């Protein structure tokens, strides 16, 4: 192996078991939540295996699974989990939406809506979320299998600072 190439991994794997929120047998529906703590901005977590496990537990044979984040500075995306690509993305998003630019969202002399005492300075993260993706993705389930392409992974993107986060998984069908 070339000594210049370090072993690296593009994403983090969530540790733990999702908590069951609701279950129905007929029709099969299952909703689970995963709580975790992110460790950095522009960080990606690979939830693909957990999505597949939730689908297995749901007993859904034909239907869909939705993966959802309730946070406005995070996204769920389906893409390749390859370190070079994700590093390229990080550099591109830093050039496109720099952290140190002026954001009216962070200007508390101007902003009057949705304020709280411990407000983060995170206008850049809100703008990045709109460019990166959505808070959820829905993926078909056929014959009990989640239909993803060969290199596709279900990724959670942290676009703000590290903190406690949640992801919800909702499988439904027949």
CATH of the domain at 130: 2.60.120.460
pLDDT confidence of 8, banded at 50, 70, 90? Answer: low
pLDDT confidence of 116, banded at 50, 70, 90? Answer: confident
52-90 pLDDT tens trace: 999 999 999 999 999 999 999 999 999 999 999 999 999
Answer whether residue 161 is part of any domain.
Answer: yes
Nearest-angstrom CA–CA distance, 40 and 59:
35
Range of the domain at 64: 19-173
- Count of domains forming the chain: 1
Q: For residues 138 and 120, which has the higher predicted lDDT (pLDDT)? A: 138
Q: Cβ contacts of residue 118 below 8 Å, gap of 6+?
A: none
pTM for the model stands at 0.90
Answer whether residue 13 is part of any domain.
Answer: no
Evaluate whether 79 touches 98 at the Cβ level (below 8 Å): no
Answer whether residue 37 is part of any domain.
Answer: yes
Nearest-angstrom CA–CA distance, 92 and 75:
17
* DSSP string computed for 60-111: -SSEEEEEE---TTEEEEEEE--HHHHHHHHHHHHHHS-TTS--GGG-TTT-
Answer whether residue 3 is part of any domain.
Answer: no
Answer whether residue 4 is part of any domain.
Answer: no
Answer whether residue 156 is part of any domain.
Answer: yes
pLDDT at 117: 77
Answer whether residue 30 is part of any domain.
Answer: yes
């Amino acid at each position: 192996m070339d000594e210049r190439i370090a072993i690296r991994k593009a994403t983090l794997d969530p540790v733990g078991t999702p908590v069951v929120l609701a279950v129905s047998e007929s029709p099969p529906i299952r909703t689970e939540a995963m709580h975790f703590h992110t460790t950095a901005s522009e960080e990606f977590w690979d939830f693909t295996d957990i999505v597949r496990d939730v689908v297995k537990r749901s007993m859904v044979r034909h239907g869909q699974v939705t993966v959802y984040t309730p946070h406005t500075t995070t996204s769920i995306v389906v893409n390749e989990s390859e370190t070079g690509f994700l590093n390229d993305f990080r550099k591109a998003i830093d050039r496109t939406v720099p952290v140190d630019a002026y954001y009216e969202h962070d200007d508390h002399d101007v902003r009057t809506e949705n304020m709280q005492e411990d407000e983060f300075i995170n206008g850049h993260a809100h703008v990045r979320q709109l460019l990166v993706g959505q808070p959820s993705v829905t993926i078909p389930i056929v014959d009990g299998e989640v239909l993803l392409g060969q290199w596709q992974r279900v990724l959670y993107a942290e676009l703000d600072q590290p903190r406690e986060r949640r992801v919800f998984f909702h499988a439904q069908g027949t």
